[in-house]
DNA sequence: GCTATACTAGAGGTATGATTCTAAAACCTA
DNA sequence: TAGGTTTTAGAATCATACCTCTAGTATAGC
């Protein structure tokens, strides 16, 4: 009955992602609309606000990223190596998906979950759940325990460390030289816990 | 002859820094003016634009940071330990100077040096010179050489790695648990080069 | 073919905040 | 004490960009 949609949500998110790659994070709705070849009215038919559009883009980007990272860690036998592969995966994924990586820098999880658009808060609050579950299971397998402090340490070693090294380069090519650094540093930190 | 100044440049930069700590990086000139107790006209008497004001604040913050970090590395005998201390210094400095650390996140050096206000580009281009000179001399002392690739590696180990771990926390308390992680990771990466 | 429905379409209102402009004030020097 | 110079002071302007509003349009079912 209704007139058929000319633009899907995913196409509009793609346009937003590409517009950000071109114009930076201060991208305007007009620039996103131009990138999509859509008028601004169509965008507001799908998203309540610019904030919600960008928030949804962030959620999609993080979800895709976790998917790839988790799949990578699946292929490795030892828990230690799986954790190291996840860390290196941050760098390789960002290198091969530069504009997705850029979109991942739009928000921080805790900010979006607390002060973001209300319709996104729930989803934002749980976006990391599957990832942390895997992290916890690998931690348990590697150390035989998984208290809060240990999990925080492993999380820092695997994600914060590698992403911290990568993030300054997001928006430009990610240097290859980061990969051995991440590998070595993550491995060393994972060896820290006194067993 | 002239009417005396009521606000020094440094006072206005302090106000901008504190206003950012309160309102975030999207701080408005009105908020900065209120923080300083000054009218907006006075601010424009010292700075050509909001961009230049924030750029100058960034330059001052980076300069102060380098000063402290370089002084810390002076007190250590071995080059290896000096490099590790610089890395840990990123974390301790950010912890003890939270709003200065926040101001350091306003720009990136290469962005400000290329697309920032023209009056700041030169200064921005050279803001890291003294720091990299010290890094080069420590690298030479530690490894007996200092080619470009090695210097990049050491720079990553000392600055990018530690700052990457710290930066996500800037604006909130910097966890103590980061310090041993930085120490271990930096040390491990510095041991990477095959000699 | 006609109608109901939901989308496209983009021009325009509105709000925010940077910047400018004009006037007044304060101090130094003569 | 008067003139000159610089700064304070804040109101007015202007630009930007989000969001809304009204029309028009394309399709599926009857």
In this structure, what token pair is assigned to residue A182?
Answer: 């991440």
pLDDT, tens digit, for every residue of B43-61?
Answer: 999 999 999 999 999 999 9
pLDDT, tens digit, for every residue of B101-118?
Answer: 999 999 999 999 999 999
> Rounded CA gap, A190 and A83, in Å?
9
In this structure, what token pair is assigned to residue A28?
Answer: 């305007």
**Which residue reads 């908020």 in tokens?**
B31
In this structure, what token pair is assigned to residue B54?
Answer: 């924030």
Chain-wide mean pLDDT for chain B? 95
Q: What pLDDT score was predicted for residue B76?
A: 85
- CB A181 to CB B156 under 8 A? yes
Question: Could you check: is the Cβ of residue A40 within 7 Å of any atom of nucleic acid strand C?
Answer: yes
| Residue B145 pLDDT > 90 | yes
Identify the bridge partners of residue A172 per DSSP, sorted by sequence position. A170
Which residue stretches of B75-177 are H helix?
79-96, 98-103, 109-115, 118-126, 129-143, 148-155, 161-166
| Residue B195 pLDDT > 60 | no
Distance in angstroms: CA B175, C1' C15: 40
Helix (H) or strand (E) holding A16, with range, is helix A9-23
Distances (CA, A) of A32 to A6, A43, A96, A105, B58: 16, 9, 23, 17, 30
pLDDT, tens digit, for every residue of B3-33?
Answer: 778 889 999 999 999 999 999 999 999 999 9
Work out the number of other CB atoms within 10 angstroms of the CB of residue B119.
13
Q: Which of B161, B164, B177 sits opposite A153 (nearest CB)?
A: B177
- CB B168 to CB A168 under 8 A? no
Question: Could you check: is the Cβ of residue A28 within 7 Å of any atom of nucleic acid strand D?
Answer: yes
Cβ proximity of A156 and B176 under 8 Å: no
Residues 23-42 of chain B within 7 A of strand D, judged by CB, are 38-42
Distance in angstroms: CA A7, C1' D8: 55
> Rounded CA gap, B87 and B102, in Å?
18
Closest-CA residue to A182 (of A155, A195, A164): A164
Q: Which residues of B touch A186 (CB under 8 A)?
A: 185
Q: What pLDDT score was predicted for residue B2?
A: 74
Helix, strand or coil, per DSSP, at residue B192: coil
Q: Which phi-psi region, left, alpha or beta, contains residue A24 (left: φ > 0; alpha: ψ -120 to 50)? A: left
Distance in angstroms: CA B42, C1' C22: 14
Q: Which residues of B touch A149 (CB under 8 A)?
A: 177
Ordered domains of chain B (ranges, CATH):
1-46 (1.10.10.60), 58-190 (1.10.357)
Helix (H) or strand (E) holding A35, with range, is helix A29-36
Cβ proximity of B156 and B108 under 8 Å: no
Instruction: For nucleotide D26, give the residue with the nearest CA to its C1'.
Output: A3
**Which residue reads 């699946």 in tokens?**
A74
Interior/surface letters B67-106, b for 16+ CB within 10 angstroms, e for the rest: eebbebbeeeeebbbbbbbbbbbbbbbbbebbbbbbbbbb
Cβ proximity of B162 and B91 under 8 Å: yes
Identify the bridge partners of residue A170 per DSSP, sorted by sequence position. A172
Q: What pLDDT score was predicted for residue A195?
A: 55
**Using beta carbons and an 8 Å cutoff, which residues of A are at the interface with B?**
108, 149, 152-153, 156-157, 160-161, 163-168, 175, 177-178, 180-181, 184-189, 192
> Rounded CA gap, A10 and A66, in Å?
18
Q: Which residues of A touch B108 (CB under 8 A)?
A: 168
Q: What pLDDT score was predicted for residue A3?
A: 73
Distance in angstroms: CA B40, C1' C27: 22
pLDDT, tens digit, for every residue of B150-190?
Answer: 999 999 999 999 999 999 999 999 999 999 999 999 999 99
Q: What is the pLDDT along chain A (195 residues), one digit of tens a residue?
A: 677 788 899 999 999 999 999 999 999 999 999 999 999 999 999 999 999 999 999 999 999 999 999 999 888 889 999 999 999 999 999 999 999 999 999 999 999 999 999 999 999 999 999 999 999 999 999 999 999 999 999 999 999 999 999 999 999 999 999 999 999 999 999 999 875
Q: Within 7 A of a protein CB, which nucleotides of strand D?
A: 3-11, 16-22, 24-29
Predicted TM-score of the model (pTM): 0.92
pLDDT, tens digit, for every residue of B70-95?
Answer: 999 988 889 999 999 999 999 999 99
**Closest approach of A4 to chain B, Cα-based (Å):** 40
Q: What pLDDT score was predicted for residue A65?
A: 98
Which nucleotide, over all strands, has the C1' atom closest to the CA of A43? Answer: C8
B68 contact partners, CB below 8 Å, separation of at least 6: B89, B93
Q: Which phi-psi region, left, alpha or beta, contains residue A171 (left: φ > 0; alpha: ψ -120 to 50)? A: left
């Amino acid at each position: 009955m209704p007139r058929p949609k000319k633009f899907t949500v995913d196409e509009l998110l793609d346009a937003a992602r590409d517009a950000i790659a071109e114009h930076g994070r201060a991208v305007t709705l007009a620039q996103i609309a131009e990138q999509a070849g859509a008028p601004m009215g169509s965008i507001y038919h799908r998203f309540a606000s610019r904030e919600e559009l960008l928030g949804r883009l962030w959620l999609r980007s993080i979800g895709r990223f976790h998917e790839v990272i988790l799949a990578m860690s699946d292929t490795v036998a030892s828990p230690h190596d799986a954790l190291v592969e996840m860390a290196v995966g941050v760098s390789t994924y960002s290198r091969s998906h530069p504009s997705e990586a850029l979109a991942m820098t739009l928000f921080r999880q805790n900010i979006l979950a607390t002060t973001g658009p209300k319709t996104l808060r729930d989803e934002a609050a749980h976006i990391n759940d599957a990832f942390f579950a895997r992290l916890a299971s690998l931690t348990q397998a590697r150390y035989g325990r998984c208290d809060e402090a240990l999990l925080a340490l492993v999380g820092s070693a695997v994600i914060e460390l590698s992403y911290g090294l990568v993030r300054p380069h997001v928006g430009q090519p990610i240097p290859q030289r980061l990969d051995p650094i991440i590998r070595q540093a993550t491995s060393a930190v994972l060896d820290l816990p006194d067993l």
